Amino acid sequence: MTDREELESMCKRRGFIWQSAEIYGGEAGFYDYGHLGARLLDNWKREWKEFFLGLDENYQVIHTPSIHPYRVLEASGHVDHFSDVMVRCERCGSSFRGDQLVEEETGENAEWMGKEEISEKILELDLSCPDCGGTFSEPEDFNMMFQLDIGPTGEKKGFLRPETAQSAYLNFRREFRALRKKMPMGLATIGSAFRNEISPRRGVYRMREFQQAELQIFFLPGIHDDIYEAKFEEIKDTKVRIKRAEAEEAKEIELQDIEDIPAFYLYHLGEMYRFASEVMDLDPKEIRFRELPSEERAFYNKIHFDLEVDFDTIGGWKEISGLHYRSDHDLKQHQEGSNTKLSVPTDNGRKIPHVIELSYGIDRNIWALLDKGYHPDDDRAWLDLPGRLTPRQVAVFPLVRKDGLPEKSREVYDVLDDDLLAHWEKSGSIGKRYARNDEVGTRYCVTIDYDTLEDDTVTIRDVESTEQIRVSIDEIDEIIEGLIEGEKSFQYHQKS
């Protein structure tokens, strides 16, 4: 069980993550990644792209701005739905959503109401604070989006995007032509999104500026089903732990035994599970899919499962990614808002493509790796990260700092540094260097000793077992890369 303070301390001491602008006291909801954290991020993004773009040759990555013009988010519904009317009790200071107060009293839907309507209703219904009975202040808008002025006059308005998804929808038309009208088509975006959270909490779990990796897939149900049915065939016996909306507990089940969900959805669900368990190497017992009941999900999400991780440091099961079948909602909204035709021709006339969205909170995924990988045991603290994700794949040391060992170790380092994330150090005892590297997840430690000078062999130490093998310098590059790619295990080399 990893303690949150212990992990945060390690992250700060060693160079992973800490509060942004901390020399000025910081600002809630913003975090910086240090040199190791930034590498871990880069590695994760690279693996994510390689994995998900590899699912289909027509899944591609695009790069887009973080600022959207006002009309984009007006059309998407964010201007209305991301903004709530808040009223505050003048006596006790509690604040409430105005529409909820009105709905409770009248039983009618009040979500459409603006400041004025809410204000009138409060007077008309003579509403008072449910906590203390006090009177309310004038209602105010609270918008979760950061609004901006664009240009010198301040007349153009825009927002920092609250999700990266819209960027893909905005590019659907252009890419559909550029990719020569092939469907299904996937557009992936990796970038920052911004939400002016009332109270950011739990470290990087809920931030005001955060990073998303999303894959928006455009397809037509009924027309492209066979493509996904064929793909699904190959992974249909994948076992996943799933908690259905109506179920009390999560159950392990083969995907093919889920009968009420179409193949295009189950296929991506299975691949998301493979990414978590195989690429991120998360323990199947500590991940699950949870289906959101209708009251928890947005109205346009027809099917919605979150992938959750059982965190030690931030209070149990929490979402790190989601799979949403959004139907044709998004393109329909933008077709109307932009007056641009976003439908595509089919044998039965033009149709607006549907969207299935794979949405990853990158920072949450990074925190999951650290939370599940960090082992602050009594005898040693070590970080267990997959070889392709760890910020430091190999470290090279001289056993002692004399007799030419440092120079020799430097030569070995120079070779390894070409193809691997390598590190070299000489200070402190050999044990201390192992300990330092265990803590940041260095996968392998190579030590140059007196035998090296005799026969050009070195030892390689495995972070997990702390055991060593002795290999020739000529092969070292190849052996370590083989270990990191998972071609051969450390145990294999121990036996041979």
For RNA, the binding residues (CB under 7 A) are: 5, 8-9, 12-13, 19, 25-29, 77-78, 81-82, 84, 88, 92-97, 100, 144, 162-163, 195, 197-203, 206, 298, 315, 380-381, 399-402, 425, 427-432, 434-436, 439, 447, 449-450, 458-459, 461, 466-468
Q: Which is nearer to RNA, 55 or 430 (CB)?
A: 430
What is the nearest approach in angstroms of RNA to the Cβ of residue 349?
30
Q: Which is nearer to RNA, 165 or 185 (CB)?
A: 165
Q: Which is nearer to RNA, 100 or 128 (CB)?
A: 100
**Exposure pattern of 427-443 as b/e (b: 16+ CB <10 Å)?**
eeebeebbebbbbbbbb
What is the nearest approach in angstroms of RNA to the Cβ of residue 192?
14
Compute the distance between CA of residue 218 and CA of residue 183 in angstroms, rounded to an integer: 7
β-pair partners for 305:
291, 323
Considering Cα of 365, then 371, then 375, then 381, what sign does the dihedral take?
A: positive
Compute the distance between CA of residue 153 and CA of residue 136 in angstroms, rounded to an integer: 36
Residues in the chain: 496
Q: Which is nearer to RNA, 341 or 380 (CB)?
A: 380
Structure letter (DSSP) for residue 146: -
Q: Which is nearer to RNA, 27 or 233 (CB)?
A: 27
Closest CA to 71 of 156, 163, 193: 156
Q: Which is nearer to RNA, 450 or 492 (CB)?
A: 450
Q: Which is nearer to RNA, 228 or 413 (CB)?
A: 413
Is 76 within 8 Å of 333 (Cβ atoms)? Answer: yes
**Exposure pattern of 228-250 as b/e (b: 16+ CB <10 Å)?**
beebbeebbebebbbbbeeeeeb
Residues with Cβ within 8 Å of residue 463, at least 6 apart in sequence: 382, 383, 384, 437, 438, 441, 442, 443, 444, 445
What is the nearest approach in angstroms of RNA to the Cβ of residue 27?
5
Q: Which is nearer to RNA, 50 or 336 (CB)?
A: 336
Tokens for 440, please give them. Answer: 């940041």
What is the nearest approach in angstroms of RNA to the Cβ of residue 112?
12
Q: Which is nearer to RNA, 97 or 302 (CB)?
A: 97
Judging by DSSP bridges, how do beta strands 140-143 and 17-19 pair with one another?
unpaired
What is the nearest approach in angstroms of RNA to the Cβ of residue 318?
10
Judging by DSSP bridges, how do beta strands 287-291 and 239-243 pair with one another?
parallel
Q: Which is nearer to RNA, 256 or 468 (CB)?
A: 468
What is the nearest approach in angstroms of RNA to the Cβ of residue 91?
11
CB atoms < 10 A from the CB of 204, how many?
24
What is the nearest approach in angstroms of RNA to the Cβ of residue 466?
4
What is the nearest approach in angstroms of RNA to the Cβ of residue 436?
5
Q: Which is nearer to RNA, 133 or 284 (CB)?
A: 133
Q: What are phi and psi of 232, to 5 degrees?
A: -65, -35
What is the nearest approach in angstroms of RNA to the Cβ of residue 115?
16
What is the nearest approach in angstroms of RNA to the Cβ of residue 9?
4
Element holding 231 (H helix, E strand) = helix 225-235
Q: What are phi and psi of 494, to 5 degrees?
A: -65, -35
What is the nearest approach in angstroms of RNA to the Cβ of residue 332?
16
Compute the distance between CA of residue 35 and CA of residue 249 in angstroms, rounded to an integer: 40
Is 207 within 8 Å of 30 (Cβ atoms)? Answer: yes
406 upstream amide cis, omega within 30 of 0: no
Is 29 within 8 Å of 207 (Cβ atoms)? Answer: yes
